[in-house]
Amino acid sequence: MRLTVDTHKAAARRWTIAQALMEWDVMVHLYESRLWRRSLFWQALFRLSFDDEYLLITSALGLGSANRVLDLACGPGIYARRFAAELPAGIVIGMDLSWPMLRYAARQSCKAGLDNLYQPVMTQASPRRMKSRQPRVTLTPVLV
């Protein structure tokens, strides 16, 4: 499976503080932990537990009948991994602008043995660090 993406425009734009934080490995690990997304504070703030949020998303997607899922802004793969686990015969593609998030997602996917979850792999450079080059983005099985 091959997909070419023009990342030149993404590299030229300014990043917000939140996007810059998502490039920091410490934040990547905190994102999915019980200190953030799975925390009681998050549940109280949004009045929705992580599991209830996942059920809301999957019911809106009609995931039961899907054979292909594209998770844009997948972050550390918090949903993409669950989608892949529930669709063992399907294909799940997770994409994010944060290379550290994708690396973390790939490691977690390998640990879970999910061979139907694909992540974009930059063949030249991360869009965040890129200057004028336009790398090809190839969707490959998750490898770390």
Assign residue 130 the CATH number of its domain. 3.40.50.150
The proportion of the chain whose per-residue pLDDT surpasses 70, expressed as a percent, equals 74
Is 36 inside any structural domain? yes
| Structural domain harbouring 28 | 8-141
In this predicted structure, what is the pLDDT of residue 6?
Answer: 46
Confidence category of residue 138, pLDDT binned at 50, 70, 90: very low
Is 26 inside any structural domain? yes
Is 129 inside any structural domain? yes
Residue 126 pLDDT greater than 60, yes or no: no
Confidence category of residue 21, pLDDT binned at 50, 70, 90: confident
Segment 84-88 long-range contacts (CB within 8 Å, at least 24 positions apart): 84/109, 84/114, 84/116, 84/117, 85/112, 85/114, 86/58, 87/63, 87/116, 88/116
Confidence category of residue 96, pLDDT binned at 50, 70, 90: confident
Confidence category of residue 13, pLDDT binned at 50, 70, 90: low
Is 97 inside any structural domain? yes
Per the structure, the count of domains in the chain is 1
Is 1 inside any structural domain? no
Is 2 inside any structural domain? no
Compare 54 and 133 and report the one with higher pLDDT: 54
In this predicted structure, what is the pLDDT of residue 12?
Answer: 54
Is 78 inside any structural domain? yes
Averaged pLDDT, 104-133: 68
* Cβ-based burial of 76 (10 A; exposed 0-12, middle 13-18, buried ≥19): buried
The pTM of this model reads 0.71
Is 3 inside any structural domain? no
Confidence category of residue 131, pLDDT binned at 50, 70, 90: very low
